[in-house]
Each structure stands twice: as C-alpha cells, then as structure tokens.
Amino acid sequence: MSSARERLTRLLSLVPYLDAHPGADLEETAAYFGIDSDTLIDDLQLLFVTGRPGHMPDDLIDASWEGGQIFISNAEEVSVPVRLSAEEAGVLVLALDMLSSLPGLDSEAVATAASKLRVAAGENLRTAVDVSPIDADEELLSALRQSVEDGSALSIDYYVGSRDELTTRTIAPTRLVPGADWYVDAWCYSAGAPRRFALGRIRSWEPAAHPPMSVSEATTNSYEVTLGLAAGGAWLADELDVTNREYLDGGDTSVRIRLLVHSVDWLSRFLLCHADVITEIDDTEAVAAALRRLG
C-alpha cells in the first residue's frame, strides 16, 4: 500500500497526465505509474472529493473509467504539471553545487544536472537563478578532502565559542558535511571520540602523525552496528557515519542503518540520548554499557 506522501505525489502527476491523454487506457495508465489497476481506481475515486474549497459539485473533479478508458473534467486548476518555485529551484541548485565539492562523486554529472536545473528554472520563472555554495577556505577544504581520501591526520587550532578558547587538536577526518557551514566529521584524539568540527572555527591546520592510541582506544577497534530508527529519529541517519540505509516498509520514514562506530563508550551514550527512537540494535555490549550507566 502506498504511503500518503506517495499517493499525493502520484495524484499531482496523474491529473495533468489524464488531462493531456483523454481516453487513456486504464491498464496502460496503471502500468505507467507503476501501480495496479485497483490502486488506480482508488485514486480516481479520491478525485471525486478533490477540488476547490466549497465542496459544491462544480468545485470537485469528475472522473469516469467505464469501458477501461479514463476521462476527467473540471480539473483545470490542477491540470498543470507541478513546477518548482524560485526558492525550491534555488535550494536544489545550491545542494548540487555543494555535492560537487564532496569527494568520491562524479562531479561532472552533478555539474551537468545543476546546469540543466538552472536553465529549466530560469525558463519557468523568467528570471535568472543564481546561487552560490557556502563560502569556505579552499585550501582547508582541499587539505581535508586529501586527509579523508588517504586516511591521514591533521593538527588544527579550533575555536570553541562557548568557552572563548582556542584549542589545539589532532584529528583524523572521515567525511565533509555541507550545512549552514561546512563541517568535517573526524576522530578527535584529544577527546578520544568522534567529533564534528565547523570549518569556520578552524583557525589553522597542518599535517600530523596519528598519535599512539591509549589503552582504552587500542582495545576498541572500529566496527559496524545495525540500528533501527523510528520515524521520529530518522533524521539521525543524516548526522551519523552511515555505511548503508534501508527505509522500512511501514508507510513512514522509519529506517534501518549500518553505522561505523569507533567506541563502545560513545555508542552507549548515544543509546541513552536517543533511546526513545531506537527500535533495534545488534550490539549487546553497547546495550549492556548503557544499562550500567543507568544503574
């Protein structure tokens, strides 16, 4: 069964399609939208209560499919294909520009998609769409990308605003993350745990050797765990070092992820912070550590 979001998306495409193809074959239309004929009929029946506010007969869409041919009427206001607003187009172009800066992607394909979107949005909106990615020090970005690719470490001077303090740390970057600022996820040897650093707060940097691990770190190798996240916690998948994600068949946004973990101690604290949205985990050691913290 389709989720409410999937059905709404399909209906917004179905009406202009049927308006442009009067007498469309029922079975062929269902196949075109990747559904069966019974689901399509359910969608057509929903159109009878869809239309402008007022709910008078002339306000609602009319549909018929007798003889296997589909006809709709009174659907002029929703028969135009959905188009992006200026804000939506700008956000997508900005996202593509940021993606082109990340390592491991086909930058040429991303740039081509962004270029096509700019042209299409400009034609639709009759105005130029001009957005730029987040400003960041190009030398710093280049150093971090190189560090991510070859697994090297960096020594950074990092400003902590909450304490008005400039700290020196040795980090092993794992990935770059665009957001309100550019961020880098890294193993911080000073904290002995994964950390996320804002590039705007990195004052200086230089190559560094990986420090020798402490006894506790040496006994805790990086490993992967499987976590299930309820719909209310699905956003966490975008904040973590996820190696795989699978959206569950529940009609919502619940998700199962594979997560790279560097420390049982960190994972146990994560479990306690987000216990209300975690539906499953295959790491009994971390669960036991979390329970000990509660005790």
Task: Report the C-alpha gap between 113 and 110 in whole angstroms.
Answer: 5
Query: Which residue pairs from 45-53 have beta carbons closer than 8 angstroms and sit at least 24 positions apart in sequence?
Result: 46/11, 47/11, 47/15, 47/72, 47/75, 50/11, 50/78, 51/77, 52/77
Q: How confident is the model at residue 87 (pLDDT cuts 50, 70, 90)?
A: low
**Of residues 101 and 61, which shows the higher confidence score?**
61
Domain with CATH 1.10.10 in the chain: 4-78
Q: Indicate if the pLDDT at residue 208 is higher than 80.
A: yes
Q: Percent of the chain beyond pLDDT 90?
A: 12
Give the pairing type, strands 165-178 and 153-160: antiparallel
d(CA 74, CA 49) in angstroms, rounded, equals: 12
User: What is the per-residue pLDDT across 157-174, written as a single tens digit (0 to 9) for each?
Assistant: 999 877 788 999 999 888
Where, residue-wise, is CATH 2.30.30.520 in the chain?
138-212
Q: Which CATH architecture has domain 138-212?
A: Roll (2.30)
Question: 258 forms bridges with which residues in the sheet?
Answer: 226, 244
Q: Are strands 62-64 and 69-73 parallel, antiparallel or unpaired?
A: antiparallel
Strands 182-188, 165-178: pairing is: antiparallel
DSSP 60: B
The yes/no answer on whether domain 4-78 falls in CATH 1.20.950 is no
pLDDT at 49: 63
**Gap between the Cα atoms of 151 and 135, Å rounded:** 25
pLDDT at 42 over 90: no
> From CA 233, how far away is CA 84, in angstroms rounded?
28
Q: What is the DSSP string of 97-113?
A: HHHTTSTTS-HHHHHHH
Q: Which CATH class is domain 219-294?
A: alpha beta
Cα distance between residue 218 and residue 179, in whole Å: 33
Model confidence, pTM: 0.40
Q: For the chain, how long is the longest CA-to-CA vector? A: 76
130 pLDDT above the threshold of 60 = no
